[in-house]
Chain A
Amino acid sequence: MNAFKVTISIFFTAVRKEIIQQWRTKRFLVILAVFLLFGLGSPVMSKMVPEILKSEPGGEELVKLLPPPTAADAIGSYKEFIGTFGYIIVILLGMNAIAGEKESGTASLILSKPMPRWVFVLSKFTAQSLMYTLAILVGALAVYYCTFVLFGAVDVLILIKINLLLLVWILTYSGAVMLASILGKTVATAAGAGLGFAVLIGLSGNIPHYGKWSPNGLMSWAGTLLENTEKAVAIPGALIGSLVLILIFLIGSVAIFERQEIQ
């Protein structure tokens, strides 16, 4: 077997190990459960809000002023849930990836074997990406089903587009947390760095002239898709910017990790 084939075989072995680890340590179940909750909870909450308001004194008058909830509100609420809690979930699940292995000493045993360091980093990112993809899929199916039951027909194509944008948005944070996990000597410092990166990404939308390239634009894009399909404003810059940012985070992660001394 030539060197390239051997390296690819090691890469898939490492990805398999990461997936098994996520399953055995229950991380996989936790994230699926969270996204399932987002998917099921958002339509229910959208439907229930007027009922809840009605039960309050003077609530009936208030409800008359509000437009009746729609399928778009339900999906919008799902998007907001992910926008609010998504990066926190990514930090909590990703901070441990490299920093935890360096801190515990498991990395030194593995990296003394013929596993290139880029494989070590990218196998973790690949496994995490698969986990988030599945989680988004579960969330999308749940929000589709619940919205359909409570509100009627849902535009499947719009729902798919929104979920793809959400996935890219999550993967951008995942790339940032991977870099943070490499920079941090401990899990705690990695979490701090991850939070710092998340804040920077959050603020990047406000940079004059460059804000349109920010991953925040993905959320805005998803929002306009919900408002009215004919008036939806595509923000391709945000998609390109996010993909470039993911690439920068991964290249940076590998470059830094290659130079690091493993304890």
Chain B
Amino acid sequence: MKIDPEIHPSAVDNAISCIGLSRNYGAVQALKNLNLTVPYGSIFGFLGRNGAGKTTTIRILAGLALPSSGSAWVAGMEASRKDSVARQRFGYLPQEPAFYRWMTPVEYLDYAASLFNLSQKERKPRIDEMLRLVNLQEAARRKIGGFSGGMIQRLGIAQALIHNPQVLILDEPTSALDPAGRYEVIELIASLRGKVTVFFSTHILNDVERVCDTVAIIHKGELLLESSREELLNKYPINTAELELDNHGQADGKWKETLEKQPWVNSIQTEQNIVRITVTDVACGKQALLPLVAGFGLLINRIQWVRPTLEEIFLKISA
């Protein structure tokens, strides 16, 4: 692997390194001195609310925007200098990928592979392999203009992987998809574990919980946190009681109002017949919760003390 001779030390061992990365748009600071490292081999979730700076970071990494200061490195090459050689190292999928509608997937992948200087002999089997991976063999010779959102996204992943890159950079790959399309894309990303480093931005926490091993949270252009997913979840104590009620209709009622008034209750979230009660005093909660709900005659299938979800942690950190 060719390494940039002027490489920053932190970029040697990491798939991605952002060093003091800032980007200003007039008076607005979209990125503020971002320092971020993505280890090789990880599936890295880059989390943030809308407008947090995720897409700006990714556009700089992809060479589509220049930083106001700082540098961004991908697989040992500085990507933030708009050096076209650095773009050999990664594959990129924007939030809403757009293709030439008059082309077929085979033609587009062949064009993309030619830009990566793959010979004709190499291109054919690679295109077949990619079409198989993203399950687009049957649509391989149909015009892209008639594709669904899920098919477009899968073709986007195929074109990003066509040259067998070391790093795959995906900008909100699931945000524009329906649940079925989202499932397909997340499964596809999960299948890449161990084969390529995946860096993907999202605000959909379920996706991160399902596939990522490392996460970072960005808020208002600043990095708030970077950690392995397990480490992050372990940092937060078991302080939430998850109640599965027998009857969906029981989830709201007077018992909930009474519970909300208890000094040891922090928050209550309801999703169908599942109620999650986060407490401030776990000992007090364990002692008082069950008698309180039983007093209202609720039929309970299951009660379990659990950790907060990534979503709850994210909301707490980026509040």
- A229 on the B face (CB < 8 A): no
- In contact, A112 and B97 (Cβ under 8 angstroms): no
For B84, what are the chain A residues with a Cβ–Cβ distance below 8 Å? Answer: 114-116
Within 8 A of B (CB), among A94-123: 104-106, 108-117
Q: A24-B102, A109-B159, A113-B87 are in contact. Are A13 and B59 (CB under 8 A)?
A: no
- In contact, B64 and A113 (Cβ under 8 angstroms): no
Q: Mark B200-238, 1 if CB is under 8 A from A, else 0.
A: 000000000000000000000000000000000000000
Q: A114-B115, A261-B66, A262-B65 are in contact. Are A109 and B87 (CB under 8 A)?
A: no
Q: Mark B99-143, 1 if CB is under 8 A from A, else 0.
A: 110100000000110111100000000000000000000000000
Main secondary structure of the interface of B (DSSP, over half): loop
- B10 on the A face (CB < 8 A): no
- In contact, B64 and A104 (Cβ under 8 angstroms): no
- In contact, A3 and B85 (Cβ under 8 angstroms): yes
- A9 on the B face (CB < 8 A): yes
Q: Would you give the shortest CB distance from B91 to chain A, in whole angstroms?
A: 8
Within 8 A of B (CB), among A238-263: 258-259, 261-262
- B313 on the A face (CB < 8 A): no
Within 8 A of A (CB), among B41-77: 59, 62-66
For B117, what are the chain A residues with a Cβ–Cβ distance below 8 Å? Answer: 1, 6, 9-10, 114
For B62, what are the chain A residues with a Cβ–Cβ distance below 8 Å? Answer: 108, 112
- In contact, B64 and A112 (Cβ under 8 angstroms): yes
- B299 on the A face (CB < 8 A): no
Number of A positions contacting B (CB below 8 A): 28
Main secondary structure of the interface of A (DSSP, over half): helix
Q: Would you give the shortest CB distance from B100 to chain A, in whole angstroms?
A: 6
For B87, what are the chain A residues with a Cβ–Cβ distance below 8 Å? Answer: 112-114
Which B residue sits closest to A25, measured CB to CB? Answer: B102
For A1, what are the chain B residues with a Cβ–Cβ distance below 8 Å? Answer: 117
Q: Would you give the shortest CB distance from B55 to chain A, in whole angstroms?
A: 9
- B14 on the A face (CB < 8 A): no
For A161, what are the chain B residues with a Cβ–Cβ distance below 8 Å? Answer: none
Give A164 to B156 CA distance when docked, in angstroms.
Answer: 44
Give A148 to B63 CA distance when docked, in angstroms.
Answer: 57
Q: A112-B63, A258-B82 are in contact. Are A106 and B100 (CB under 8 A)?
A: yes
Q: Would you give the shortest CB distance from B51 to chain A, in whole angstroms?
A: 15
Q: Would you give the shortest CB distance from B245 to chain A, in whole angstroms?
A: 46
- In contact, B112 and A261 (Cβ under 8 angstroms): no
Q: Would you give the shortest CB distance from B60 to chain A, in whole angstroms?
A: 9
Instruction: Kindly identify which residue among B59, B99, B114 contacts A109, using a CB–CB cutoff of 8 Å.
Output: B99
- In contact, A114 and B98 (Cβ under 8 angstroms): no
Residues of B within 8 A of A (CB): 59, 62-66, 82, 84-85, 87-88, 92, 94, 96-100, 102, 111-112, 114-117, 156, 159
8 A-B pairs in the complex with CB atoms less than 8 angstroms apart:
A9-B117, A13-B111, A13-B115, A105-B94, A106-B98, A109-B97, A109-B98, A109-B99
